[in-house]
A = this chain, B = another copy of it.
Amino acid sequence: MIKPVLVIHGGAGAIPRTETTPEVRQQYEDALRQILNEAGAILAIGGSALDAVTEAVRLLEECPLFNAGYGAVFTSAGKHELDASIMNGKTLQSGAIANVTTVRNPILAARAVMERSSHVFLVGTGADDFAREQGLECVDPAFFSTTARREQLDRVQRTLGGGMVLDHDAQSLSAAPLDEDKKLGTVGAVALDSHGNLAAATSTGGMTNKQPGRVGDAPMIGAGCYANNRSCAVSTTGTGEMFIRMVAAYDVSAQMEYAGRTLEEATHSVVYDKLPTIAGAGGLIAVDAEGNISLPFNTEGMYRGYIKVGEQPFVAIHDKPEEALLSQDG
């Protein structure tokens, strides 16, 4: 008897606990909880893992607290460049888009690429054009802008004197508590449905003040997103460049399939052992075909949560090991 489960994240590199108020933490936790309840309902009525992760990421994109879709961070040019990916663990079908500027929900564009094109990966205006042709909602690029993110860009550009946030500069990132301006922002979801199918989805606005054209791991199948019914579904968040070099999402699957490791052994190897060798900071969420879940991160925090069908959602921001300290929904 499979117990369906949905796991989500809203990015690693959370606001330092010491700099947050209970009210701010509550705001994030409430958002995560609501998204888990809404998208988790799809699994509860026998819906697919693919639909559940799509809806979870769409809701995360719509929530301005998280760096994806509405509320995405600004590039150094004061624009938004959005990336997303999705993978079906049953068929290994995949879709991804990068560097789009007008698709309201990048994850829906990634899914359209997977299901309605002959391709896996479209970038730039070609991807925006495809999404529009497919009837997806397109918006003025200014739609994604929020005052909070604009202030973030201004702060970062003032601090750096016009330089970039080197998001691979994990040495300095992990030495100091991460602040919201340096948040390794990505959102993602993984799920196991009642049919035993796995799926994963990831979406991001990238890094505040990023160089135009920079693409991180989020839209890269194998790095930021991977799903395979034989092993697991994974969505990552962190210093994207390091996750690409480690082929992090697929590495979890490969360790399970080829080395016979458990989900937890494989995710811990990637997050605690392998990524730190190249100063990779961040975390990931993963679920395997038996419904085991793992949510490791090597940063101060990771916005995360999960819901098992018929149970209350669990959400957390700081704290680890996460399983021991997850706060149950009142």
Known contacts A92-B278, A244-B221, A247-B222; A99/B123 CB under 8 A: yes
A251-B254, A254-B258, A259-B258 known; A92 vs B245 contact (CB < 8 Å): yes
- Are A129 and B212 also in contact (CB < 8 A) when A124-B124, A223-B222, A245-B92 are? yes
- Categorize the interface residue count of chain A: 35 or more
How many identical chains are in the complex? 2
In the assembled complex, which residues on chain B have CB atoms less than 8 Å from the CB atom of A134?
none
Q: Determine the chain B residues whose CB is within 8 A of the CB of A125 once the complex forms.
A: 212-213
Stretch at the interface among A161-169, A189-197, A290-298: A161-169
- Verify A122–B211 contact, CB threshold 8 A: yes
Bound Cα distance A250, B220 (Å): 13
Please tell me if the beta carbons of B244 and A94 are within 8 angstroms of each other in the complex.
yes
Name the interface residues of A211-245: CB closer than 8 Å to any CB of B: 211-216, 220-223, 226, 240-241, 244-245
B-contact 0/1 string along A121-158, CB 8 Å cutoff: 11111110110000000000000000000000000000
Is A119 in contact with B223, judged by CB distance below 8 angstroms? no
Contact present for A241 and B124 (CB under 8 Å):
no
* 10 intermolecular pairs with C-beta atoms under 8 Å apart: A87-B245, A99-B126, A119-B211, A122-B213, A122-B215, A125-B212, A125-B213, A220-B220, A250-B250, A258-B258
The list of the 4 closest CB pairs from A to B, nearest first, reads A126-B213, A258-B258, A254-B254, A222-B247
